[in-house]
Structure 1
């Protein structure tokens, strides 16, 4: 079973379990989702990244030891603690950002990246290299919680269309919150391009371990 670590603290079961639900519905893969504590707005800057790392490491160890998961997916585009978790546990550790970036490279040499932070996550741009075309984010969105607000979907679609307009041949999400709100299916009605959703990319990576 895949253990999914969410970096957004929430008691809302629908929000918490959305990534597991998506993976089960589309890939028929079982997973267990848990979230780290005291990160009500997720990870959106260096400070929140630093605070999240020890929590992610502790939760990864717990899920492997007590939940018996056979792989861990850290469901955050910035790939926090991915490298250190690989040194802590004896199962595969999948980073959402790197899984999505490598998937994008398989289908495009002009990748437009759609995130929520002011700059593209460096782990993603590093993997994309020369295939990185441009980065953008929706207006009035700076944390994953903002994606749950009224009008966020429309703003995200508009940002995605801008990437298509400047020549992107693939759009890569740089926030797993886009999976939570179901942006991929909506955006694909407006752009006739491959859209790489990070949760789906993690599921593909995990399926290779089965």
Structure 2
């Protein structure tokens, strides 16, 4: 099985860490490669960033289709370009949001998301409405750290644990989703912090959810529905 991971950003400094993370979650026998964009932004923290990333994402998905990959992970919690990608490749495609939120929904009633910055909260609320999941969203809290600042692991764990604890204690969440795929390798530490406070709720990692979701989809022989994700009409296009 071959999974292509598309980092929808031009930054490459985190590519080794992302590669380590996806390889950690991938099953034996799954080959994973990671690519970034040739044009776009250093991180996605707004609708504007997402729009600028769109052409580069589509380009990388077209390359993945030519390469015959079995699944595509667009590694961003905002699911940028996911629905466009499903129209142009006969392989399952996910971002970070959908698989992790659906997993969290299967483990608890109200889902609490802890994400990066206030800027992205409206984007994530819009996603829950698009997916018809808004009735299961308990709250969206922020750690107030930019994507490129998430490398301070201890500070990130502290803030995630504080916000997740508050969400549960205030009755906002029965399961917690880490709301950024840049939150690498911290899930178990956050879960342990909560358990140490007597808070026993699942903490869902978006990268782990995406990789294992793709592997399951490939094993089941599933590809995007062509009644939903119809092949785009042939016409002149320039980008």
CA drift at 1:14: 2.5
Identify unmatched segments of 5+ residues in structure 1. Answer: none
Hey, what's the Cα distance between the residues in 1 that align with 2:114 and 2:129? 12
Hey, what's the Cα distance between the residues in 2 that align with 1:35 and 1:17? 11
Paired residues of 1:2 and 1:30 also in contact (CA < 8 A): yes
Determine if the alignment matches structure 1 residue 196 to structure 2 residue 204: yes
Paired residues of 1:172 and 1:197 also in contact (CA < 8 A): yes
Matches within 5 A, 1:117-128: 117-118=117-118, 119=121, 121=124, 122-124=126-128, 126-127=130-131, 128=133
What is the aligned residue count? 203
Paired residues of 2:72 and 2:93 also in contact (CA < 8 A): yes
* 1:49-90 deviation per Cα after TM superposition (whole angstroms, max 9, x unaligned): 111111111011112213x31111111111111111111112
Paired residues of 2:105 and 2:175 also in contact (CA < 8 A): no
Secondary structure at 1:190 match in 2: helix
1:206 aligns with one of 208, 214, 219? 214
Measured at CA, do residues 87 and 53 of structure 1 come closer, stay the same or move farther in structure 2, by a change above 3 Å?
Answer: same
CA drift at 1:13: 4.6
* TM-score, scaled to structure 1: 0.87
> Relative to structure 2, which stretch is displaced further, 39-48 or 165-174?
39-48
Measured at CA, do residues 10 and 205 of structure 1 come closer, stay the same or move farther in structure 2, by a change above 3 Å?
Answer: same
Paired residues of 2:40 and 2:56 also in contact (CA < 8 A): no
Matches within 5 A, 1:152-167: 152-167=156-171
Measured at CA, do residues 86 and 70 of structure 1 come closer, stay the same or move farther in structure 2, by a change above 3 Å?
Answer: same
Hey, what's the Cα distance between the residues in 2 that align with 1:71 and 1:187? 29
Secondary structure at 2:211 match in 1: helix
Number of the residue aligned with 2:178: 173
Hey, what's the Cα distance between the residues in 2 that align with 1:125 and 1:107? 20
Measured at CA, do residues 88 and 108 of structure 1 come closer, stay the same or move farther in structure 2, by a change above 3 Å?
Answer: same
Hey, what's the Cα distance between the residues in 2 that align with 1:153 and 1:41? 23
**Greater radius of gyration (CA):** 2
Secondary structure at 1:100 match in 2: helix
CA drift at 1:18: 2.9
Hey, what's the Cα distance between the residues in 1 that align with 2:141 and 2:152? 19
Number of the residue aligned with 2:74: 74
CA drift at 1:132: 0.9
Identify unmatched segments of 5+ residues in structure 2. Answer: 195-199, 220-239
CA drift at 1:108: 1.3
CA drift at 1:164: 2.1
Hey, what's the Cα distance between the residues in 2 that align with 1:126 and 1:185? 30
- CA RMSD, aligned part only? 1.9
